[in-house]
Structure 1
Amino acid sequence: MVRAVFVFMVLLLAGCEDGSRADSRTLDVEDEDFRQGQNFYKSGEVRKALECYLKVIDKRKGAAESNLEAGRMYLELQDPLPAIYHFNQYIRMKPTSEQSNLVRQLIKTAEKQFMQQLPGRPMEPDALGGSDLNAKLRNLQLENEKLKRELADYNRTQKGLVLPPKTTSEKPAEKPATTDDGKPQRFRQYTVAKGDTLSGISRKIYGDASPTRISAIYNANRDKMTSVNSLPKIGTVILLPE
């Protein structure tokens, strides 16, 4: 049903454009990326068309027609939140254009599409008022930005902690580990506790967390660990070189 409404709106918009192209269209329609976007859309490549319209928006201020086309592409891709944003940008730039009322109808279509995508039982199209829906959209956008920041912080934390993957040329040691003077390596046992990390264990036992210490602990427990970040579960006994 939503797609049928969308197609209907697209046809109406196309009719309006034919009669008022010179008056209502801004210079962004002359942009090469805009024209490329139209060609992609005609050939059924909606995502590539969207990328072209977004390029125009990035390059030009007041790219009203590109915002309208980007909103239409997002709506066809079943992505109503950015569609609503770009439709509103068009309304902001051209509030009295001949197409503005049709764009407002597209916004309502996108709002209905969004409500149908909510988890659980699909909501009736008029279950939320306009202000309630806008508040819901803002909250979702804020939550999305928060998750992006948390993910970026996590990725920065993990950088430098991951060792290069083991190569296929590595082979298990066939002889017991020995010290520099040829004597067998001696170990002490340590039981993994909650919150432990290799660096934390190294500081606790040896008083420092140098890469050499951490590498020695890891090498002594390769049968229990796949990397320096994969400490065995709590209660597991590992070996610490003396």
Structure 2
Amino acid sequence: MLQLRAVFLLFSITLFSLTGCDNGNNAASRTLELEDPDFRQGILYSKQNEYRLALECFLKVIDSRKGAAESHLEAGRMLLELEDPLPAIYHFNQYIRLKPDSEQAKIVKKMINTAEKIYAKQLPGRPLDPDEVGVSDQAALIRKLQAENAKLLREVSELSRINKVGDPLLAATAKNQTEKTKTVVESSASKETKTYTIQSGDSLYSISKKFYGNGQRANDIYNANRDKLKSPTALAVGVTIVIPQ
């Protein structure tokens, strides 16, 4: 967390030095947002280390104002303090989307990198880097089922070959093995009935909100698709992912 706080300190210093750099409508919009009572209350809570209360205030501003870039940024900071990196990454990306050319965006990208490292450390096995994360437990289970299916099919094939001599017991065994194979395949498929094709602008947080009504299942979606996603933020447009139940 020392590295995280160092990034926050660097951002605060840079933000202060750039306060007068915005102009026109952007400056006016930012001023109005910073003067919002909920935003000011959120800043007060954050100084008191009441991160969850501060987060609620910033989310209120986001809900009530279109393009509340500063509130997205502060919400991301609070989520990092709460060690909830995936939704933090979502809010940081929203800030960059709204202010892609701002000087602060460079530091926000570093904060995204920090959030990714925090998330990677939270995963089972504590991998060192998000890109080195192995396949998910669900993917491993699917491969195991596929291997079992292949074994059963070989057994069925062998029993069918032997059954040509007319042994009724072997014929019944072959039938049971075939039905078992079908059950295993159907069981595996039933766990993956719901899928989604990634669109431009998607994030795991926004996909979670789309299917579950909130962003709390973002981790579950990533864990179910780690064989397709290099990191929590590496969402390639057109890739079809599994939506866990």
The equivalences for 1:37-186 within 5 A come to: 37-118=42-123, 120-125=124-129, 127-128=131-132, 142=207, 146=211
Deviation at 1:145, TM superposition (A): 5.9
Where 1:21 maps in the other structure, the secondary structure is: coil
Q: Distance in 1 between matches of 2:66 and 2:208?
A: 28
Partner letter of residue 102 of structure 1? I
Superposed CA deviations along residues 130-177 of structure 1, whole A, max 9, x for unmatched, are xxxxx8x9568756865669xxxxxxxxxxxxxxxxxxxxxxxxxxxx
Q: Distance in 2 between matches of 1:139 and 1:62?
A: 20
Partner letter of residue 47 of structure 2? K
Q: Determine what percentage of the aligned residue pairs are the same residue.
A: 46
2:160 maps to none
Cα 1:22–1:143 change in 2 (3 A) is closer
Pairing 1:5–2:25 present: no
Q: Distance in 2 between matches of 1:53 and 1:139?
A: 20
Deviation at 1:23, TM superposition (A): 3.3
Pairs aligned (count): 140
Unmatched runs of 5 consecutive residues or more in structure 2? 134-197, 215-245
Cα 1:124–1:37 change in 2 (3 A) is same
2:17 maps to 19
Q: TM-score, normalised by structure 1?
A: 0.52
The equivalences for 1:187-226 within 5 A come to: none
Cα 1:142–1:15 change in 2 (3 A) is closer
Deviation at 1:69, TM superposition (A): 0.4
Q: Distance in 2 between matches of 1:14 and 1:90?
A: 15
Deviation at 1:59, TM superposition (A): 0.6
Greater RCO (Cα-Cα under 8 Å, separation 6 or more): 2
Structure 1 segments (4+ residues) deviating >2 Å: 22-25, 126-129, 137-149
Where 1:49 maps in the other structure, the secondary structure is: helix
Q: Distance in 1 between matches of 2:44 and 2:73?
A: 16
Compare CA radii of gyration and give the structure with the larger one. 1
Partner letter of residue 124 of structure 1? L
Q: Distance in 1 between matches of 2:204 and 2:33?
A: 32
Q: Distance in 2 between matches of 1:12 and 1:66?
A: 18
Q: Distance in 2 between matches of 1:140 and 1:53?
A: 17
Q: TM-score, normalised by structure 2?
A: 0.52
Q: Distance in 1 between matches of 2:38 and 2:98?
A: 20
2:37 maps to 32
Deviation at 1:55, TM superposition (A): 0.6
Q: Distance in 2 between matches of 1:50 and 1:140?
A: 16
Q: Distance in 2 between matches of 1:141 and 1:75?
A: 18
Unmatched runs of 5 consecutive residues or more in structure 1? 130-134, 150-242
Higher helix proportion? 2
Superposed CA deviations along residues 181-233 of structure 1, whole A, max 9, x for unmatched, are xxxxxxxxxxxxxxxxxxxxxxxxxxxxxxxxxxxxxxxxxxxxxxxxxxxxx
